[in-house]
Structure 1
Amino acid sequence: MKKRLMTVFLAICTLLACAGCAKNADSKIQTKSSTSPKKAEITVAGSTAFEPLVKQAVKSYAQFNPSVKVNVLGGGSQAGLNQVDQGKVEIGTSDFFAAQQNIVNRDHLSDYKVAVVGIAVVANQKLKVNNLSASQLKDIFSGKITNWKQVGGKNQKITIVSRADGSGSRKAFELNVMGKTPIAAAEELSSNKHLEEYVAKTPGAIGYLAFPYLKDNKPKLKKIKIDNVTPTAEHVKDNSWKIWAYEHMYTRGMSRGEASKFITYMLGDDVQDGMLQKAGYISIHDMEVQKDEHGAMVKTGN
């Protein structure tokens, strides 16, 4: 009888102990849940020319606002505008004005100009040609000039390398170099990075590339002067180097919530005074000229 009572007593103690453990575990789970709220998320997508700066800014922004996760996607300027227009992302980035493209609800998009990016003309490093006139550059990309010997180089076929249609870098090149003349049949690539790699490995190749992809002085690429002007930030500021574009951030309607906070950060001193320049961009505040959506120049009076 005593053994039976002792067995029952031990069983009850075991049940009580288990119940206490379960309650304690549940309490720990609740505490962990309450101290680790889910992060808010926003997505920035579009321009590959703008992508390096946005990614760099996101890293520092995480220290400033750790409760928000900012996803960064490329895809090109046209894709960025389409996605923000359709409500698929919070911020669409573009190297051209929404008004320059057939965006369904473009009048409902809000434009925030964050930076300026220069577009350099680049060739394979083995090319002996260092300078082209603006008309020669246009004739090369229109297919009128097809061999480097026609512009003082050796007898070598010219391989035209361009960004795909919908690229902001391409739009800037077309507006500032080609005018209404179409680019001839070319190797068309989806990003600045892919274009950089293709030109570097292809003898006789020529293309155009956003300044940030040249900031490390890539040895396999040659920067071509145009009318004896080198592609530098200083020459972009006064429009001596004419191939450049604004880096836009677009939102659907006025920016709000976490998207508004991130855009405000991009326009603030942390980005505009140092980070932006080190990444190979130009602050909009340093420009001596402005462009409208039609490419017309306006002096700023700086």
Structure 2
Amino acid sequence: MKRTRLLLLAVGTLAAAAAPTTANAQSKILMSGSTSVYPLTVDLIKAYKKKNPNTKFSVSQGGSDVGIGDVARKRVNIGASSRDQQAGDPGGLTFTKIARDGICVVTNPANSIANLSQQNVQDIFAGKVRRWEDVPGSKVTGPIALNVRTESSGTQDAFRNIFMGPSLRVTPSASQKATNGLVQAAVQNDKNAIGYVDINFISGTYPVPYKGVACNLRNAKSGQYPGVRNFWYVTVGAPKGEVKKFIDFARSSSVQSSVVAKHYVPFK
């Protein structure tokens, strides 16, 4: 999958990608992975650099599987993942939870459906129901335009586990998108579209209530909304040095209650 590299210019002195030997330098932290975790990482780095201005960061996106693979190969110090650890992941990795987050099923604002049950979601995304006329409460007619994430995406994995269940898979006819933003844009621009995105990418779309509960940060924090998953920072072995210092900072109570809680669900 083509990788999208985004240097965090707003954060300050961030280095470009370096060779694996440079990735071990404690004064520079290299990161890659989840597009969902990326905005939180930006916020955490900004806060961290206020107290640690000499630490440099370089961050790229590409999906959770990319981040996990990069850190396993020691191309980066930290892989960002929005999915839980799996049996097939490389050995020797440590997954450290940094936050929790919601996944919203979204439609175009022209199709403000009052509610979708899990059965409704499964039927739509498995391709069993292909027209909006067959979806209870739909405000539009015509074929359903499905938008999903690519296989390397942690959001795709979490959606499958939380919404689809172990025995169902998303239909291969769905349009696959590399990032939350691309799903968001597709749904914004097509009244017949539906997709799923991280809760911080719902602007310009209609987040459909799921199992009778609105998909918003308040309900995710309270535990009412069922579509919540974990965010992880992945390292080879236990975090050490400057990497440990940064991850401990992200997990601290003060940062969880301030930086994390603004747009995400604190993990503790």
Q: TM-score, normalised by structure 2?
A: 0.85
Identity %: 29
How do 1:30-41 and structure 2 match up within 5 A? 40-41=27-28
Deviation (angstroms), 1:240: 3.1
Identify which of 197, 201, 205 aligns with 1:213: 201
Deviation (angstroms), 1:141: 0.2
**Higher helix proportion (structure 1 or 2):** 1
1:74 aligned onto 2:61: yes
Matched position secondary structure for 2:234: strand
1:129 aligned onto 2:113: yes
Matched position secondary structure for 1:48: coil
CA distance in 1, matches of 2:107, 2:87: 29
CA contact (8 A) 1:115 1:248 kept: yes
1:202 aligned onto 2:202: no
Identify which of 181, 184, 192 aligns with 2:180: 192
Q: Deviations over 1:3-48 (max 9, x none)?
A: xxxxxxxxxxxxxxxxxxxxxxxxxxxxxxxxxxx99211121111
How do 1:1-302 and structure 2 match up within 5 A? 40-98=27-85, 100=86, 102-105=88-91, 108-151=92-135, 152-153=137-138, 154-179=140-165, 180-184=167-171, 185-214=173-202, 218=203, 220-237=204-221, 239-278=223-262, 280-285=263-268
Structure 2 counterpart of 1:208, which letter?
Y
Q: Deviations over 1:221-256 (max 9, x none)?
A: 101012221112343345432222110111101111
CA radius of gyration, larger in: 1
CA contact (8 A) 1:83 1:92 kept: yes
CA contact (8 A) 1:124 1:221 kept: yes
Q: Deviations over 1:71-118 (max 9, x none)?
A: 1211111111111111110001111222x252232xx11121010010
CA contact (8 A) 1:122 1:209 kept: yes
Matched position secondary structure for 2:159: helix
Deviation (angstroms), 1:195: 1.2
Distance 1:39 1:84, change over 3 A: closer
Structure 1 counterpart of 2:160, which letter?
E
Q: CA RMSD in A?
A: 1.7
CA contact (8 A) 1:39 1:67 kept: no
Unaligned runs of 5+ in 2: 1-24
**Runs of 4+, deviation exceeding 6 Å:** none
Deviation (angstroms), 1:164: 0.4
Structure 2 counterpart of 1:84, which letter?
V
CA contact (8 A) 2:33 2:61 kept: yes
Distance 1:126 1:41, change over 3 A: same
